[in-house]
Structure 1
Amino acid sequence: MTWSFTDSPAAFRAAAAEHLVADAARNTAVLTLMDTAGRLGWWEEADGRVTGVLVVSPPGAPSLGAMTEEAARALALPGGLPGGLPGGLPGGEEPTEVRGETAAVEAYAEATGRPWAPTTRMRLFRLGELTPPDPAPEGRARVAAGADVPLVAAWTREFVAAIGEEPAEDYTGFVTERVSEGRLWLWEGPDGRPVSMAAVSRTIEGQARVHLVYTPPAERGRGYAAGATEAVSRAALDGGTAQVLLFTDLANPTSNALYQRLGYRAVTDHLTVTFTG
């Protein structure tokens, strides 16, 4: 039983394809990041089956896909995350944080012997039967257009700050990609102004993930986020996506309740931990 690592997405797919496809929902973060990650890894059992995967993206922050606790603990041993030190990364660095399913993240963090603290607890949801919001919010949904990019880029910066992360200076390229591919939807209020947004990732192995659900503070409390989320979720289903997913912050009971009213059902809990020493 061993971990193997590569910087080649093609080599990673060839080795781990069966495991990635078998549980695409639980591997959503790995599937989304694997083509741009600096490092990818897979855990192979004695019989040759792959039962764990990970990506390192951004640098210093491994994302663990579906894996056993045994595989997670093995990452902290020599021969685990490459880098010359137990739990290390290329160049001898040690991870600054790790995220993934709660049991695997805790198993890895404890096995490193380093001090760590939980920073974010998330829940992964999968859409069952899509249920429109009731009562329906005023206004209508539409696909974002090129003229919306400056507004959506500004909202994205606000969204990143609101979830407690350090925003980049400019999100123009980030949102342009989503707008040009028709993956970002806006909700217009009764006066025709955009008042909320939601986006969906590209579909990979039948799964796609809703993200960037954001309503400016002055527009909240009117159901606009529910309208935008329902619209982008329906668009993904209509486009042939088999599994529509999203993450929620467990510290936000409002969003958790909203998504469940729309038909999303819990899959598994996720945890991000930061190493404090």
Structure 2
Amino acid sequence: MVYTEHKDAGGFLAVAHEALEEQESANGLMLGVCKRLAEAPDAHDTPPYLATVEAAGRLCVAAVMTPPYNVQVFQPDGADAGGLGPVADALQRGGWSVPGVIGTTNTAEAFAALWAGRTGAALRTTMRQGIYELRQVRPPPCPPGRFERATEEHSSLVREWASRFHEDCFHNDECGRSLRIAEAKLQSGDVFLWVDGGEARAMAARTRPTANGQAISFVYTPPQHRRKGYASAVVARLSQLILDSGKQFCTLYTDLDNPTSNSIYRRIGYRRVAESIEIGFT
């Protein structure tokens, strides 16, 4: 096996992009992070970890970490499971602080077991998510109101709802990164609202474009406006907007422990293509 640490996202993608794009929806997070790193290589205070493992000229493992966040790991279908070992060895040898791992369930669990065996870390599953893909929108019943792009006048509301979205999804109040992303999306015109009677009822944002698709995130409806069709409406309209822009599909992540959101997205036309797990190390 050939283990390589790459100096930049361009070098990493030169090796990994073909395999990643074969499962583009499932790998949208890693592809999106690498796209941002390629566009703004100095955006992080600490250099990222970017590594690949190859065997017989084929990719076995791709791994990306932007400290202080979890390491992302990917293995193509049928790849040699032994490829995770060189990544775990290199991270430990290099003194990297690895708070956890995220990836499709089998790969992330295999890496976590290796890491625990090498370091003695305790493992705790912090999130189980479904990765959903949509290629054709099934329009839901339309509630009162209209779909519109958020503007600077919505800045306070977007910040508040992004913070609540983070708390709902990640069950903590360390929302600084989510707020920064939401503010950047507002500035770039990528945050959208469902507005009824002059009042915003629900929010969604487009993020992480890849070659053929784009993700939707920051889907939030205040408790008093839930179960009225606002989230379904804003996500459906934003999904159609993405498809109309020339993308072949949309993706989003859902909490597998929240059956309501999973059923909403399925009714719009999303189907689950993978499961992702986040495991923390302590």
| Residue among 41, 55, 60 paired with 2:51 | 41
Cα deviation for residue 122 of structure 1 reads 0.5
d(CA) in 2 for partners of 1:275 and 1:167? 18
Q: 1:104 to 1:84 in 2, by over 3 A?
A: closer
| Residue among 101, 106, 120 paired with 1:103 | 106
Identify, as 1 or 2, the structure richer in helix.
2
Cα deviation for residue 53 of structure 1 reads 1.7
Q: 1:72 to 1:29 in 2, by over 3 A?
A: farther
Structure 1 gap segments, 5+ residues each: none
d(CA) in 2 for partners of 1:141 and 1:197? 10
Q: 1:80 to 1:4 in 2, by over 3 A?
A: farther
Query: Which residue pairs with 1:25 in the alignment?
Result: 25
Aligned 8 A contact 1:73 1:108 in 2: no
Aligned 8 A contact 1:132 1:262 in 2: yes
Aligned 8 A contact 1:123 1:269 in 2: yes
Helix, strand or coil at the partner of 2:76 = coil
Helix, strand or coil at the partner of 2:163 = helix
Helix, strand or coil at the partner of 1:75 = helix
Superposition TM-score, scaled by structure 1 size: 0.88
TM superposition outliers: structure 1 runs of 4+ over 4 Å: 68-73, 169-173
Query: Which residue pairs with 1:232 in the alignment?
Result: 238
Tell me the alpha carbon deviations over residues 177-236 of structure 1, each in whole angstroms, 9 at most, x when there is no partner: 2123332110012x1211110011142211211100001112112111111111111111
d(CA) in 2 for partners of 1:73 and 1:119? 25
> Identity rate of aligned residues, in percent?
29
Cα deviation for residue 73 of structure 1 reads 4.8
d(CA) in 1 for partners of 2:178 and 2:257? 26
d(CA) in 2 for partners of 1:221 and 1:81? 48
Helix, strand or coil at the partner of 2:257 = coil
Number of equivalenced pairs = 267
Counting only pairs closer than 5 Å after superposition, residues 50-199 of structure 1 correspond to structure 2 as 50-59=59-68, 61-67=70-76, 73-77=82-86, 80=88, 82-85=90-93, 90=94, 92-112=95-115, 113=117, 114=120, 115-134=122-141, 136-163=142-169, 164-168=171-175, 173-189=180-196, 191-199=197-205
Match for 2:262: what amino acid? N
Query: Which residue pairs with 2:259 in the alignment?
Result: 253
